[in-house]
């Protein structure tokens, strides 16, 4: 059956890495994974884990107000009623903007959910899922769309996601493993959708069998291919194929079909050595963002 298998990782724009590390670990209760550096050794982003899913806290972030629509929004599922209550309490105590806890009906994929913002005005949500993968995990992402018909078609046909019921004026779709992608119809896209921030993207895993057909459908159904810069930089192991692309509303996405090996966690030194070497061959250098010169300046 054709269709994206899982929601794998997300990058979120943040402006103060220490503040975000503290919030995501101490308040949300996520596990620290690793800190990554720019070519000059300055901080680039921190990865925290929601179970097996990486959440990237990406500098330099963006200076725009919270989106009025409630999207883009990133949802994290916790694994028990107790954990949900304790996390809600810690989030409320932290002083970030919060909504009320919501109880969902028996047909919803959610039992309870709680929306709030992180210290950089990113919309987040924690939830207890009625179904879905076990344990703490990235439960869902919700994007804005200015043309629901077009993006409906894009996510159901090009990405092969299964449409679910609409909830809170958001159209939900299901990945093969029951993680969820939602679409919120808006009259105009917010600056949070339009200004991404460096490396702020949402990544899905797909099978090798589906990859080529999906790439063709993405451009056919009004997405825009951005190629695979990691492959050009010599950072893909043999057999791994990936594409970065925009959906019809310029939400920045990635699909990856993994091979046998995984090189995602090459050391920073080795990663930058390969990037500089490969770009030299192409007659290119690295951007000032990658070098680190613009960070913190
Ligand atoms: Fe990625």
DSSP of 211-236: HHHHHHHHHHTT-EE---HHHHTT-S
**Phi and psi dihedrals of 206, rounded to 5?**
-130, 165
The answer to whether 102 touches 112, Cβ cutoff 8 Å, is yes
Task: Answer positive or negative: Cα dihedral of 168, 195, 179, 183.
Answer: positive
Domain count, the chain: 1
pLDDT band at 32 (very low <50, low <70, confident <90, very high): very high
Q: Are 121 and 65 in contact (CB under 8 A)?
A: yes
pLDDT at position 69 is 97
The answer to the question of residue 40 being in a domain is yes
Q: Is residue 194 part of a domain?
A: yes
pLDDT in tens, 50-68: 999 999 999 999 999 999 9
Specify if 277 maps to a domain. Answer: no
Please state the rounded mean pLDDT for residues 274-294.
81
pLDDT at 293 over 60: yes
From the CA of 244, how far away is ligand 1's center (Å)?
8
- Confirm whether 268 is domain-assigned: no
Rounded to 5°, angle at Cα 214 from 188 and 264: 90
> Does an H or E element contain 75, and which?
strand 73-77
For the cut 50, the answer to whether the pLDDT of residue 295 exceeds it is no
Q: Ligand 1 centroid to 72 CA: how many Å?
A: 17
pLDDT the model gives residue 294? 54
- The CATH number of residue 249's host domain is 3.10.180.10
Q: What is the number of helices (H) and of strands (E) in the chain?
A: 8, 16
Whole-number Å distance, alpha carbon 8 to ligand 1 midpoint, is 8
Buried b (16+ CB within 10 A) or exposed e, 36-56: bbbbeeebbbbbbbbbebbbb
Q: Is the peptide bond before 72 cis (omega within 30 degrees of 0)?
A: yes
Question: What local confidence, expressed as pLDDT, does residue 196 receive?
Answer: 87
Q: Per-residue pLDDT averaged across 79-108, rounded? A: 97
144-182 pLDDT per residue, tens: 999 999 999 999 999 999 999 899 899 999 999 999 999
User: Is the residue at 269 inside a domain?
Assistant: no
CA of 177 to the centre of ligand 1 (A): 19
Instruction: Classify residue 154: in a domain, yes or no.
Output: yes
pLDDT of 95: 97
pLDDT at 263 over 80: no
Domain containing residue 129: 6-257
- For residue 293, is it within any domain? no
Task: Enumerate residues with CB within 5 Å of ligand 1 (an ion).
Answer: 203, 254
Mean predicted lDDT score pLDDT of the chain: 93
Query: Other C-beta atoms within 10 Å of 131: how many?
Result: 11
- Is pLDDT larger for residue 254 or for residue 38? 254
Using the mean position of ligand 1's atoms as its centre, give its distance from the Cα of residue 202 in Å.
Answer: 7
- pLDDT category at 49 given cuts 50, 70, 90 is very high
* Residue 262 domain-assigned (yes or no): no
Alpha carbon of 203 to ligand 1 centroid (Å): 5
In the sheet that holds 137-145, the strands lie side by side as: 102-103, 110-117, 123-129, 73-77, 137-145, 180-185, 170-174, 162-167
With 0.85 as the threshold, say if the pTM is over it: yes
């Amino acid at each position: 059956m054709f269709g994206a298998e899982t929601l794998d990782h997300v990058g979120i724009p943040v402006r103060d890495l220490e503040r975000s590390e503290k919030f995501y670990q101490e308040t949300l209760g996520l596990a620290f994974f690793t800190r990554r550096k720019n070519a000059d050794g300055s901080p680039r982003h921190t990865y925290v884990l929601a179970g097996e899913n990486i959440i990237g806290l990406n500098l330099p972030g963006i200076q725009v107000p919270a989106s009025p629509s409630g999207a883009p929004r990133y949802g994290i599922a916790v694994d028990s009623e107790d954990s949900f209550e304790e996390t809600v309490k810690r989030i409320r105590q932290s002083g970030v903007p919060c909504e009320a806890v919501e109880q969902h009906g028996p047909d919803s994929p959610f039992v309870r959910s709680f929306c709030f913002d992180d210290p950089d005005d990113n919309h987040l949500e924690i939830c207890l899922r009625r179904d879905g993968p076990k344990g703490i995990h990235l439960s869902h992402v919700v994007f804005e769309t200015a043309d629901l018909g077009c993006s409906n078609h894009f996510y159901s046909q090009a990405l092969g996601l299964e449409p679910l019921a609409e909830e809170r004026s958001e159209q939900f779709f299901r990945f093969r493993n029951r993680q969820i992608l939602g679409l919120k119809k808006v009259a105009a896209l917010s600056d949070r959708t339009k200004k991404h921030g460096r490396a702020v993207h949402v990544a899905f895993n797909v099978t090798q069998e589906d990859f080529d057909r999906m790439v063709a459908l993405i451009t056919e159904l009004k997405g825009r291919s951005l190629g695979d810069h990691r492959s050009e930089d010599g950072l893909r192991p043999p057999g791994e194929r990936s594409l970065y692309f925009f959906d019809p509303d310029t939400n920045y996405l990635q699909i990856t079909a993994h091979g046998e090996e995984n090189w995602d966690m090459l050391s920073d030194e080795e990663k930058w050595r390969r990037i500089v070497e490969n770009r030299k061959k192409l007659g290119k250098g690295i951007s000032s963002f990658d070098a680190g010169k613009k960070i913190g300046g």
